[in-house]
Structure 1
Amino acid sequence: MGNIWEMDFYSRPILDANQKKIWEVLVCESPADISTKTDSLFRYAQYCPNTQVNSGWLRTALQEAITKAGETPIKIRFFRRQMNNMITKACQDLGIPAQPSRRTLVLNQWLEQRIEQVYPQEPGYQAGTNPSVRLEKPLPQRLPDALEGQQWIFVSLPAADLLEMPEWEISFGEAFPLELAQISPETRIPGILIFSSRALPLAAWMSGLELAFMRFDTSEGARLLLETGVTESWIVANIKNPQTLAEAKGFEEAKQKANGVHFIGVQSDPKAQSFTGFWLLQEVNLL
């Protein structure tokens, strides 16, 4: 299996000599698992003149990134929906699938670092002129009947225990290095275990989505929602039991204390010794 890349192509808070915003493409490698060292991940950055913002320029930049990396990614994730057509076209011309996704954790942290440390040092920097992303509020959908879990529970693990993930038997899943979240090994990481006699198709279906994060929502009753892609949302459960409601609130509170980190596990039953699916997730604000 090859590497997955994360990409952003957008204007930056920097003006050129004609008082036009300079654009920039950022490309970085997604971590393969929890043991990945972030400083070893491939990164590529290049500014783009305002007059050359098009899929052709982006395609050329991506080809240069591929040449420097020495490999072609199996897919590229991006979170700016307003750039969907241009990014998709450039990626298609190179034969690479482009995937709208909120699972761009390395890219988001890199962008944050550049906003704070790099752009202010550039000639023409204009503080506060680059709007942040405004995503549409998704309308939650029901999970397909055949994929609903028969049972689920809230659980938690110390962050240190998750470091053993590479040794676990997992059929489908994805993780990221906890150094990205800047949490201590003692931090309790909340999670949800879903049990189903159809665990394999459920985990396979979930692996085909761009899993973003799980959240407890009270806007229309009490619901547990799975956020995927850039704007998709799925209703995992409607919560009415007072005890479960308290546990759901506790899950959300623990997630905030863990800097948004949490996990989803899929098993055939509570006695299973392996995971059909296991995903380490983090809810972050996109820049």
Structure 2
Amino acid sequence: MINQESLTDELHMPVIWELDFYSRPVVDENQKKLWEVLICESPLSIESKPESLFRYSQFYANTEVNSGNLRQAIEAAIAQAPKPPDRIRFFRRQMANMISKACDELGIPGYASRRTIALNQWINQRMAEEYPTYPNYQPGSNPSVMMPSSDPQPLPDALIGQRWAFVSLEASAFADMSEWEMDFSEAFPLDLLNLAPNMTIPGLLVFSQRSLPLAAWMSGLEMAFVKLAPGDRPQLLLETGSNDAWILANLSSPALQKEAKDFEAAKEKANGVHFLAVQSGPEAETFAGFWLMQELNLA
């Protein structure tokens, strides 16, 4: 007899929300900036439909900015959403204490993350198209929330890849991603960013005899992006969480450094979109891990 509860758990996909609580370029009758809670659902696969992702917004006066009102906003969003969140991501570190307190009081894990792709897209859209239509719109820019990365850490010894390679795929190739065999993965629909089907998406393949443990370890991180760290000793870094960084490779030769620069150039052309994949070896037809990512210019 099939255990229905076990089957349900196995098929359960997590629901992840992205949240921001910050001032907007809109003022009240006292010429004080209004604050706004924005909540949206994270797309977790290439098949996610941007138009069907849950969204919630609520304005607050600057005197109403506290964890209690934020908690109530999250509760109101939960009441309207098809499903409650299993966890909540936020990128604005200045608000970390308040957001964490509200999440804790609701028993929902909150994580500082730079993987807030849908939220970043929504904020940019509102900045360009929504707020300027308000009669109390007051142009201005918010201070950047970009934080310096912490000193890059080496990967755990047991998880260091034996080989790696730069690769690329056309955007159209990701249409079949849901059919790929992957143990751990996270993606988002490329039409969320309006990328052309023939756009080249750069990526990094990491080969490891311990590919599954490496992918499992990565899946426990808030995967942000892969980047070249230039300097006297150029390195290829994996950025995670709010400002963590891990050394994927030391680029000791001019040839490797050129490949990394080409990777960065391709990533810039693709609006920051790229991928990281983990396999047991070059002949493998399956992925232990595959993450589609975007390097965001958070503001």
Q: TM-score, normalised by structure 2?
A: 0.93
Distance in structure 2 (CA, Å) of the matches to 1:237 and 1:76: 31
Question: Is the contact between residue 262 and residue 282 of structure 1 (CA under 8 Å) also seen in structure 2?
Answer: yes
User: What's the C-alpha RMSD, in Å, of the aligned pairs?
Assistant: 1.2
Unaligned runs of 5+ in 1: none
SS of the equivalent of 1:164 reads helix
Give the count of matched residue pairs.
287
SS of the equivalent of 1:118 reads helix
* Superposed CA offset, 1:43-79 (max 9, x none): 0000011111111100001000000003211111000
Equivalent AA in structure 2 for residue 40 of structure 1: S
Distance in structure 1 (CA, Å) of the matches to 2:180 and 2:265: 27
Q: Which of the residues 28, 35, 38 maps onto 1:23?
A: 35
Question: Is the contact between residue 181 and residue 261 of structure 1 (CA under 8 Å) also seen in structure 2?
Answer: no
Distance in structure 1 (CA, Å) of the matches to 2:280 and 2:268: 29
Query: Given the alignment of the two structures, is residue 37 of structure 1 paired with residue 39 of structure 2, yes or no?
Result: no
State the shift of 1:220 in Å: 4.2
SS of the equivalent of 1:89 reads helix
Q: TM-score, normalised by structure 1?
A: 0.97
Distance in structure 2 (CA, Å) of the matches to 1:16 and 1:70: 32
Unaligned runs of 5+ in 2: 1-12
Distance in structure 2 (CA, Å) of the matches to 1:151 and 1:77: 32
Distance in structure 2 (CA, Å) of the matches to 1:204 and 1:270: 19
Aligned to 2:275: 263
Question: Is the contact between residue 226 and residue 239 of structure 2 (CA under 8 Å) also seen in structure 1?
Answer: yes
Aligned to 2:68: 56
Question: Is the contact between residue 267 and residue 277 of structure 1 (CA under 8 Å) also seen in structure 2?
Answer: yes
Question: Is the contact between residue 93 and residue 145 of structure 2 (CA under 8 Å) also seen in structure 1?
Answer: no
Aligned to 1:241: 253
Q: Any residues of structure 2 matched to 1:162-241 within 5 Å, and which?
A: 162-241=174-253
Percent identity between the two aligned chains: 59
Question: Is the contact between residue 196 and residue 268 of structure 1 (CA under 8 Å) also seen in structure 2?
Answer: yes
Distance in structure 2 (CA, Å) of the matches to 1:237 and 1:141: 11
State the shift of 1:9 in Å: 0.4
Question: Is the contact between residue 149 and residue 245 of structure 2 (CA under 8 Å) also seen in structure 1?
Answer: no
SS of the equivalent of 1:130 reads coil
Aligned to 2:7: none
Q: Which of the residues 127, 130, 133 maps onto 1:115?
A: 127
State the shift of 1:248 in Å: 1.3
